[in-house]
């Protein structure tokens, strides 16, 4: 017995040292990077974020015509599951391509600003989200969406009460987020307009970023020069369609970006724009090119908490009222009061940090519905009919039996 035991002990030590070695060996092959894909889907926004931990967030899904591009892109990246689908605001050019997120790409979590908006396509879309049993939350200021691997999306807007009587209340109440990963800061702005920018500038410490997703497809109602001095990005991305009827990007917005010496990419010109980062370096490439073919490489410096000089100079010669007054439009339509969002749609949120759920890690194992008295094999067809939020997973048959459930008669697990 004794020699056998020594042998076993030896084997164990050996296995343990191999286990210790593995992470460093992994680093030699390929360290997973954070990837942000600003997809060229025509006139609209669609951003795919993949954290080094493999979690996938889709921020906006473009117009309805984006469906095919999105599906193909998700397939190309071999994405198995969308952990989070976030719609910045209820305009069709930001959620229209949602049908690409059906079936195998069905998101595990849905977030939008819950801004009451009575358009029929939006209502249809919400009805689908509810019927598909996707957990949904209201995106609120100060929330943190944790994508794993150190990647966090910090929600900076909207804040209650919603902005009202602006040029476009739906746009002004867009979800604005800062993506944080080690040293990297990326600001995602939806279609936020100047009133939103003004609100954000009251918290200058939220804004400094290396990369800015330019708000509202480069319209001149956004990206004020002042706002740009608060963010001071090295790079900017404008997402818009070729020859779009809105004239996006507007030459005035482009001029402001140019004057602030921001290197600007436009999806209509460059195609998909891809940012990759390990938290220390940022690689920017276009049209699906790899990291090695990056157009720009930026060694990231830790950004100052705020750009103090910008703040004092811009605030000194402009009173808050003057800045706000110039852009508010009191005669605008009171969109915000027309319809209330149905009650079913909101889940109560506990705590500030939301971790988008991960599906059961393997296709093995057993699944049951929450209140059901039977359990199925993971591969059983019946499982697809159990809404994901009602599913209970078991790693072993024994665990399923222990939950006082019986084997289902269809797959006889
Ligand atoms: Zn838009
Ligand atoms: Zn919009």
Percent of the chain with pLDDT over 90: 58
If you measure from the C-alpha of residue 217 to the centroid of ligand 1, how many angstroms do you get, rounded to a whole number?
Answer: 6
Lowest mean pLDDT among 59-63, 71-75, 291-295, 320-324: 320-324
pLDDT of residue 348: 46
Whole-number Å distance, alpha carbon 116 to ligand 1 midpoint, is 17
At 140, the pLDDT band (50, 70, 90 cuts) reads: confident
Q: 29 lies in a domain?
A: no
Ligand 1 centre to CA of 400 (Å) is 47
Q: In terms of domains, do 299 and 261 share one?
A: yes
Residues 99 and 200 occupy one common structural domain: yes
CA of 245 to the centre of ligand 2 (A): 14
Mean pLDDT of 293-319: 73
* pLDDT value of position 65: 96
| Amino acid 305: pLDDT | 84
Instruction: Based on the fold, state whether residues 367 and 318 are members of the same structural domain.
Output: no
Confidence check: pLDDT of 322 > 80: no
Q: Which ligand is nearest to the CA of 244?
A: 1
The pLDDT of residue 358 is 62
Q: What's the pLDDT at 9?
A: 59
pLDDT digits 0-9 by tens, 76-114: 999 988 999 999 999 999 999 999 999 889 998 999 999
Q: Which of 345, 374, 398 is the last residue of a domain?
A: 345
State the pLDDT confidence band at 242, using cuts at 50, 70 and 90: very high
Q: 9 in a domain, yes or no?
A: no
Nearest bound ligand to CA 43? 1
CATH number at residue 40: 3.60.15.10
**Span 340-355, mean pLDDT?**
51
Residue range 30-35: average pLDDT?
A: 89
Q: How confident is the model at residue 118 (pLDDT cuts 50, 70, 90)?
A: confident
Burial zone of 259 (CB within 10 Å; 0-12 exposed, 13-18 middle, 19+ buried) = exposed
The C-alpha atoms of residue 231 and residue 185 are separated, in whole angstroms, by 10
Kindly state whether residues 162 and 280 are assigned to the same domain.
yes
- Once rounded to an integer, what is the mean pLDDT over residues 50-58? 94
Compute, in angstroms, the gap from residue 249 CA to the centroid of ligand 1.
Answer: 12
pLDDT at 130: 87
How does residue 352 score in pLDDT terms, banded at 50, 70 and 90? low
Verify that 165 and 190 share a domain, yes or no: yes
Interval 16-31 mean pLDDT: 52
**Is residue 97, in this structure, part of any structural domain at all?**
yes
Q: Give the number of the ligand closest to the Cα of residue 91.
A: 2
Distance between Cα 88 and ligand 1 center (Å): 9
* pLDDT over 50 (residue 349): no
Give CA–CA dist 249/225, Å, rounded. Answer: 15
Higher model confidence: residue 5 or residue 243?
243
What is the pLDDT at residue 264? 96
Q: Is there a single domain that holds both residue 300 and residue 372? A: no
Q: Are 112 and 90 in contact (CB under 8 A)?
A: yes
Q: pLDDT digits over 144-174, tens only?
A: 898 988 999 999 999 888 999 999 999 999 9
**Share of residues in the chain with pLDDT > 70 (%):** 79
* Within a domain: 12: no
Residue 10 pLDDT class (50, 70, 90 cuts): low
From residue 76, give the alpha-carbon distance in Å to each of 69, 226, 279. 10, 40, 24
Task: For residues 38 and 165, state if they share a domain.
Answer: yes
CA distance 370 to 387: 10
- Residue 358, phi then psi, degrees to nearest 5: -110, 140
User: Distance of CA 154 to CAs 11, 36, 206, 228, Å?
Assistant: 46, 16, 9, 19
**Least confident interval from 5-9, 214-218, 244-248:** 5-9
Ligand nearest to the CA of 213: 1
Domain that holds residue 170: 34-345
The tally of domains found in the chain comes to 2
What pLDDT, on the 0 to 100 scale, is given for residue 4?
61
Q: What is the pLDDT of residue 313?
A: 55
CA of 135 to the centre of ligand 1 (A): 24
Residue 209 resides in a domain: yes
Angle at 64 between CA 62 and CA 67, to 5 degrees: 80
Answer yes or no: do 78 and 141 share one domain: yes
Of the candidates 272, 268, 307, the residue with the CA atom closest to the CA atom of residue 287: 272
If we measure between CA atoms, which residue out of 178, 160, 158 comes closest to residue 170? 158
Ligand that comes closest to the CA of residue 60: 1
CA distances from 232 to 154, 208, 281, 310, 394 (A): 18, 6, 18, 10, 49
Taking 70 as the threshold, does the pLDDT of residue 411 lie above it?
yes
* 11 conformational bin, left if phi > 0, alpha if psi -120 to 50, beta if neither: alpha
Q: Ligand 1 centre and the CA of 259: distance in Å?
A: 24
Q: Please check the confidence at residue 323 and state whether its pLDDT lies above 90.
A: no
Average pLDDT, the chain: 83
Alpha carbon distance 111, 143 (integer Å): 11
SS (H, E, C) 206-230: HCCCCEEECHHHHCCCCCCHHHHHH
């Amino acid at each position: 017995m004794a020699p056998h035991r020594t042998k076993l002990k030896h084997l164990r030590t050996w296995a343990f040292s191999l286990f210790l070695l593995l992470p460093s060996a992994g680093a030699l092959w390929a360290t997973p990077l954070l990837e942000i894909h600003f997809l060229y889907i025509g006139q609209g926004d669609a951003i795919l974020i993949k954290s080094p931990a493999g979690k996938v967030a889709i921020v906006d899904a473009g117009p309805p015509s984006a469906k095919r591009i999105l599906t193909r892109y998700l397939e190309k990246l071999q994405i198995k599951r969308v952990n989070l689908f976030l719609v910045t605001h209820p305009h069709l050019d930001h959620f229209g391509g949602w049908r690409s997120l059906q079936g195998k790409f069905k998101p595990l979590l849905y977030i939008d600003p819950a801004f009451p908006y009575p358009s029929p396509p939006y209502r249809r879309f919400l009805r689908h989200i509810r019927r598909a049993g996707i957990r949904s939350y209201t995106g609120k200021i100060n929330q943190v969406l944790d994508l794993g691997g150190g990647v966090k999306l910090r929600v900076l807007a909207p804040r209650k009460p919603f902005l009202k009587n602006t040029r476009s209340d739906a746009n002004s109440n867009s979800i604005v987020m800062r993506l944080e990963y080690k040293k990297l800061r990326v600001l995602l702005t939806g279609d936020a307009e100047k009133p939103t920018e003004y609100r954000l500038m009251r918290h200058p410490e939220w804004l400094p970023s290396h990369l800015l997703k330019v708000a509202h497809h480069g319209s001149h109602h956004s990206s004020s020069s002042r706002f740009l001095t608060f963010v001071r990005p090295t790079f900017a991305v404008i997402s818009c369609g070729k020859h779009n009827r809105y004239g996006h990007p507007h030459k005035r917005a482009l001029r402001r970006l140019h004057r602030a010496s921001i290197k600007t990419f436009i999806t209509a010109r460059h195609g998909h724009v891809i940012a990759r980062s390990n938290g220390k370096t940022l690689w920017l490439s276009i049209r699906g090119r790899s990291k090695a073919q990056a157009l720009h490489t930026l060694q990231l410096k830790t950004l100052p908490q705020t750009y103090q000089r910008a703040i004092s100079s811009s605030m000194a010669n402009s009173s808050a009222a003057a800045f706000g007054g110039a852009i508010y439009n009191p005669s605008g339509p009171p969109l915000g009061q027309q319809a209330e969002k149905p009650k079913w749609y909101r889940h109560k949120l506990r705590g500030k940090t939301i971790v988008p759920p991960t599906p059961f890690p393997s296709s093995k194992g057993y699944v049951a519905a929450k209140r059901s008295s039977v359990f199925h094999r993971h591969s059983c067809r019946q499982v697809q009919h159990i809404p994901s939020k009602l599913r209970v997973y078991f790693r072993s048959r024994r665990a399923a039996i222990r939950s006082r459930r019986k084997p289902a008669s269809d797959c006889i697990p």
